[in-house]
Amino acid sequence: MIPLPDSESRSKNLPGDRFLNTTVLTIISSKLVEEQEESQSTTRKAPKSMGARVFDQMEMDRMNSNNNGTTSLVRIIKLQKWATLEKVMVSGAVDMIPFDDSPLEQRLAGTDRILHLACQFQAPLRIVQLLSDRHPMSMRTLDDDGRYPLHIACARGAKPKVINYMLDACNLAVRWQDKSGKLPLHHLGESWRKGWKTVRNTRTQPEQESMLAVTSMLLFEYPESPIIEDNNETNSIEYAIQSGADIKVVKRMQNESRNSWRRMKKRNESMCHDDLRLSVRSSTASSIDLEEISGLDISMMDERNADFAPGSMPPLPSSLEEFIQSARMA
């Protein structure tokens, strides 16, 4: 700021200096006005949070694209806008948008189904982690078809890192048969290759190596998977062959199947092959068994149910054993 001349200096000014004094006063006045306007502008424009800035940018993008709908978490997932979703989740802007703006009849049954949707649209690992952190029960919730997110991920060509993360988060899912009688390994053999070909994010491994890696992870957690049949009396090896899976994947399943039969035969030398098959089926109760026969609500088969310990199966009613023997007799 330019200082005002004091009275002593003004008294010493000569008449010829009047123009100079007027100029100085004008400059001082303009400086004061500029400083006042700058101060008011700073007060009016308080800095926005990162979440607010991200939300504003999303609204601008929505208007520019002539989208008459609102921006919601579910919409972003369906559009597979993973970079946008990560910004929304990390910045906190997710709290400023609706969860689901779909028509009422098309909305998710609840927030605990969000990972099922993300896996259906082939979300990358970072997105799966963020959604799992925000909705921790989603990883352990069954959908209407009796599937965990792991089942859907295996069917949709998820990367090995995604499968590995999901196995750590919910190990029970690898042993769970959905309403069609399929384990995650069945879904992998049947449609993993088809899903892999449509994954939009960058792939760092060839298809054959990735499928073999996922197969090995599932078999490590549940070696008996290849000998389990679904409701169509088809096992994962048959599905893998039908889908044109690499020979290394098929052989990996076949070797584990052979080893599993040998271990079971050694432990139960008096049992015939068919009895062994029934004993394996009895150890992996499926969604349809528990829901239709025992009357249990499969949507409660998670940590919220105090009677159900993750990683173990609830006690099966005696009628279930009779059903298994009649349904699986080959």
What does 216-271 look like in DSSP terms, one character per residue?
HHHHHH-TTGGG---TTS--HHHHHHHTT--HHHHHHHHHHHHHHHHHHHHH-TTS
Nearest to 76 by CA among 117, 105, 38: 117
Burial 306-319 (b: 16+ CB within 10 A, else e): eebeeeeeeebeee
The CA distances from residue 22 to 15, 27, 78, in Å, are: 12, 9, 68
- pLDDT of 54: 52
Q: What φ, ψ does residue 13 adopt, rounded to 5°?
A: -70, 140
- pLDDT of 188: 97
- pLDDT of 281: 60
Write out pLDDT tens, residues 28-70.
566 655 666 665 555 454 555 555 555 555 554 554 444 444 5
Helix (H, G, I), strand (E, B) or coil at 278: helix
- pLDDT of 288: 45
Tokens at 240, concatenated: 């893998």
The CA distances from residue 82 to 77, 86, 87, 193, in Å, are: 7, 6, 9, 22
d(CA 117, CA 119): 5
Sign of CA dihedral 266, 267, 273, 276: negative
Q: What φ, ψ does residue 56 adopt, rounded to 5°?
A: -60, -40
d(CA 208, CA 283): 31
- pLDDT of 242: 94
- pLDDT of 102: 83
Which residue numbers in the chain have pLDDT < 50?
Answer: 7, 10-14, 19-20, 43, 45, 60, 63-69, 287-330
- pLDDT of 155: 96
Nearest to 2 by CA among 19, 23, 17, 11: 23
Task: Specify whether the CB–CB gap between 214 and 162 falls below 8 A.
Answer: no
Task: Specify whether the CB–CB gap between 298 and 288 falls below 8 A.
Answer: no
- Determine how many CB atoms are found less than 10 A away from the CB of residue 2: 10
Task: Specify whether the CB–CB gap between 281 and 230 falls below 8 A.
Answer: no
d(CA 326, CA 328): 6
**Domains of the chain by range and CATH?**
52-107 (no CATH), 112-270 (1.25.40.20)
Tokens at 37, concatenated: 């306007």
- pLDDT of 56: 55
